Amino acid sequence: MKKIFGYITVLLVLSWVTSANANVLSSTITEAYGNLNITGFNSGSNPVISFGVDFADDPASGQFTVIEPIVVGALYHVNIGWNIPSLQVAPFSASFDIISQTASGTGTDTVNNALSAFIGQSFFGSPIGSIVVNGNSLNLLFASIDQDSNGGPILLLGAQEPTGQTTLQAYLNSLDGNRDGILNADYTGAHLEAYRVPEPAALLLLGGGLLVMFGFSKKRA
């Protein structure tokens, strides 16, 4: 009986550690729409393609909600997706990791107002994540928040096809009727989720709990 009680106790502790340190949903963007500007796809072999996600100035164009305070220096995993009806392609999506450079308290605001506080932030890596466009998975090399012509925020995502692959580049060029290397289209239904990633120390605590369980089992055998 004591042995069973011991197992239950350790399992409860491990369950608490695991749930307490799982990725925490920190912020969301819902029901956003605006304009997408795609450039760089006609710049020769293996170009860096830039996707500029400009949120509409309309205050009703989506909500940005911070559920758990954003912490400077914390690692966050971001998922974003949006639909491009005029291009008649499958929904675009991107997934990447960033280290926050700005803190933010909880609450809800328009997307433009909320993201304005993050203008000037850039995140680079090799890669920092991936982006899926028309069924093509690309390496996401950078993400940044810049200003559009109206002073509002624009999310820039820079991606590159794997060496030797030109499927997306050829597809985008086929859509470029003006042959100017620029594609412009409205998007709808944009959403974003940002999850805070557990700190290494928390993962070490979980590993330590597993060792405790192993030791307890061995001792009672």
pLDDT (tens digit per residue) in 139-172: 999 999 999 888 899 999 999 998 888 888 888 8
Within-domain flag for 11: no
Query: What domain range includes position 84?
Result: 24-200
DSSP 148: -
Within-domain flag for 207: no
Query: What is d(CA 153, CA 194) in angstroms, rounded to the nearest whole number?
Result: 18
Within-domain flag for 191: yes
Task: Tell me the one-letter amino acid at 212.
Answer: V
Within-domain flag for 193: yes
Q: What pLDDT sits at residue 28? A: 97
Within-domain flag for 212: no
Long-range pairs for 9-13: beta carbons < 8 A, 24 or more residues apart:
10/209, 10/212, 10/213, 10/216, 11/213, 13/209
Within-domain flag for 183: yes
Q: What pLDDT sits at residue 150? A: 87
- pLDDT tens for residues 66-77? 999 999 999 999
Query: What is d(CA 82, CA 84) in angstroms, rounded to the nearest whole number?
Result: 7
Domain count, the chain: 1
List, run by run, the mean pLDDT of 10-residue segments along the chain (221 residues). 43 38 87 94 89 92 94 95 78 91 93 92 93 87 93 93 87 88 91 90 43 47 54
Q: What pLDDT sits at residue 165? A: 86
The per-residue pLDDT of the chain, averaged, comes to: 82
Within-domain flag for 18: no
Within-domain flag for 6: no
